[in-house]
Structure 1
């Protein structure tokens, strides 16, 4: 008996058994492989012991994503001798259709295009009243073929000396589920073995006690029966680095320490400022003008003038009168005038002493200028402190304003002193001139006196 004859015989026996035992539902293929967006027809056949059944119900369903949930109903076909009706799930309208041939024992679920949502198990169920013995349902798997996407690779853990890390690799898409393979290369693209104790499992490459030698180029390849995709990553292992939390703690500690240090320095400066003598303006030097000498000079000049007038009168008398009595009277008056001259000269010497005091006042003025220079130096140092402390600067500014006012008053006094001194100098010059003329007259008078003495 040939093979074909044996197959026909087997089918005949199966049909006889099915009729004898009850209904039998079966898919032509246990798995359908189809590329994404391609069409596919799922064919379900059934046989029953009842011929010309008055009613048949055919249901297509699919496994849910969550096994705990019920089956997803795609469509139901109701067949009677008077009515035929198909109820399709709204989610599959426009994408799936049902074609049924009850007398021929055939039902077909057709997809115009498949997506990853159809990557699941489908079930065909046939219900015939009065024939519930046997296999009423059968399943088939639809495998939607999708090439794996470019895998996404990451490093889990710190790539630092002595640490353990994982290199992960996973494709977002890929059907059937892709497999993963890791390879290692050097900078010249030559394959390199993995470090000791390396473990690879389901796209995860585990590296232990990493070091500088663990660094390099790692390639992950994602593969399924359609095609493959790869991703290259560079692993750089370095020395341990400070954590962000520790860094933030150290920075915060430094900032807090700096704030405390600034407060301490500020308090010390304030305390030192209270202890240090401030550069205040010294008491202005009072230049007391000597009592005006104009009155005394005028008196002296008046005396000299009266002496000159008397002398002129005496000359006239001496020239025209040569009597003894006139000579005696004139000699007596001349002696009085000489006495008054000596007194005026003493007062002139007193005025010269006062001029010496004015010179000493000049020395005092120079000393005051030196003190002002030292004050300017102190003011410069005070300005440096003012730059460091704004509060002290405002107070020092007030003191400087008071000093400027006092200095202006001192300048006014100096100006008045200079004017007074100029007037004294002028008076001294006039006095010297008067003294010179007076001495000349005195010499002249002495000569006349000697001449009169010789004449007697």
Structure 2
């Protein structure tokens, strides 16, 4: 008896939904490439024999994150055939509506990553609140991964722990990352069991000379892949690039200072030699004196020695 009652209850519940409002989106997920013009289909059925004086149809979006806010982007009013589009979607969103055939498709032009959201198609019919008035789907905008950026975090010195990072600025679905490495001879090598590769971060522990080599990161999703490369050179702590550069700079500065000192010494010695030569000439010749008549000799006359030898005429005088 109880079994018969349960069957009757289930049957009555099933029949209660027959002829009620029903909204359907055929697929739970749609995937399109960025920049495509797309159509998200939505069909509906009304209660048989009903001719509602007013039907309100709307499409809304909701972010994929938890507790995301739902926003209505476009709505349609029947029988006035008025369409109201949210300002952000003007020129991109429209509705293809046919009440008789039960169609309320959403059309979106030039989709972007911002359209990567959940979409809802909903009908409001006065006096008909039974059945399923709304349906949902997810739009995934496909974008190939951008060329990833590879970086080294930490000091590439013996005994250090470092991370090699790899990140694509964009990609939908979110790209996955994989690191591969080769030794300095460009030969594949077995990865150290302590090494971890997670989320684009390759962690290397207690690195040594053998860790040096070529590292390649591949960023990929269902569309395509992109790569970036790093050349890792592990050196002793005293041979890092900063110390080497400092030593070279110091040596260059010392050489420049030495050259300046030598140049100054040479200039000073040359000046002393010139002064000495001028002093000797002044001792050899004195200023020319006037003759007995008070006249100086012509300019082209050779200078008179300071101690001229007496002539015979002088003795006669």
With normalisation by structure 1, the TM-score equals 0.50
Deviation at 1:209, TM superposition (A): 1.8
Deviation at 1:400, TM superposition (A): 10
With normalisation by structure 2, the TM-score equals 0.69
SS at structure 1 position matched to 2:120? strand
Query: Of 206, 210, 218, which residue of structure 2 is paired with 1:213?
Result: 210
User: Deviations along 1:210-249, whole A, 9 cap, x unmatched?
Assistant: 11100112222222223333334322222332648x959x
SS at structure 1 position matched to 2:42? strand
1:230 aligned residue: 227
- In the aligned structure 2, how far is the partner of 1:163 from the partner of 1:203? 20
- In the aligned structure 1, how far is the partner of 2:171 from the partner of 2:267? 76
Structure 2 residues without counterparts, runs of 5 or longer: 1-10, 291-302
- In the aligned structure 1, how far is the partner of 2:286 from the partner of 2:24? 125
Change (3 A) 1:14 1:46: farther
SS at structure 2 position matched to 1:225? coil
- In the aligned structure 2, how far is the partner of 1:415 from the partner of 1:426? 18
Change (3 A) 1:416 1:118: closer
1:54 matched to 2:40: no
Change (3 A) 1:18 1:189: farther
Query: Of 286, 291, 300, which residue of structure 2 is paired with 1:409?
Result: 286
Query: Of 123, 128, 131, which residue of structure 1 is paired with 2:125?
Result: 128
Deviation at 1:412, TM superposition (A): 6.1
Instruction: Compare the two structures and name the one with the higher helix fraction.
Output: 1
1:33 matched to 2:35: no
* 8 A contact 1:52–1:103 mirrored in 2: no
Change (3 A) 1:17 1:99: farther
2:297 aligned residue: none
User: Deviations along 1:62-115, whole A, 9 cap, x unmatched?
Assistant: 2358877744433110113xx111122344344332012334443101234433
* 8 A contact 1:18–1:24 mirrored in 2: no
User: Deviations along 1:262-286, whole A, 9 cap, x unmatched?
Assistant: 9xx9xxxxxxxxxxxxxxxxxxxxx
Deviation at 1:201, TM superposition (A): 0.7
Deviation at 1:157, TM superposition (A): 2.0
1:286 aligned residue: none
Change (3 A) 1:410 1:26: same
- In the aligned structure 1, how far is the partner of 2:266 from the partner of 2:144? 78
* 8 A contact 2:74–2:93 mirrored in 1: no
1:418 aligned residue: 307
- In the aligned structure 1, how far is the partner of 2:314 from the partner of 2:228? 112
SS at structure 2 position matched to 1:172? coil
Deviation at 1:200, TM superposition (A): 0.9
- In the aligned structure 2, how far is the partner of 1:121 from the partner of 1:90? 19
- In the aligned structure 2, how far is the partner of 1:140 from the partner of 1:415? 122
SS at structure 2 position matched to 1:193? coil
1:156 matched to 2:143: no
- In the aligned structure 1, how far is the partner of 2:120 from the partner of 2:40? 10
- In the aligned structure 1, how far is the partner of 2:184 from the partner of 2:268? 60
2:17 aligned residue: 18
1:101 matched to 2:98: yes
Change (3 A) 1:15 1:222: farther
Counterparts of residues 106-185 of structure 1 (less than 5 Å)? 106-132=103-129, 135-185=132-182
* 8 A contact 2:64–2:118 mirrored in 1: no
Query: Of 34, 43, 46, which residue of structure 2 is paired with 1:45?
Result: 43
Change (3 A) 1:400 1:73: farther
* 8 A contact 2:156–2:233 mirrored in 1: yes
Deviation at 1:29, TM superposition (A): 0.9
SS at structure 2 position matched to 1:418? coil
- In the aligned structure 2, how far is the partner of 1:67 from the partner of 1:407? 108
Instruction: Compare the two structures and name the one with the higher strand fraction.
Output: 2
* 8 A contact 1:18–1:47 mirrored in 2: no
Work out which structure has the larger RCO, using CA pairs closer than 8 Å and 6 or more positions apart in sequence: 2
Give the number of equivalent residue pairs. 280
* 8 A contact 2:117–2:140 mirrored in 1: yes
Structure 1 residues without counterparts, runs of 5 or longer: 1-11, 266-383, 432-456
Change (3 A) 1:184 1:63: same
SS at structure 2 position matched to 1:139? strand
SS at structure 2 position matched to 1:387? helix
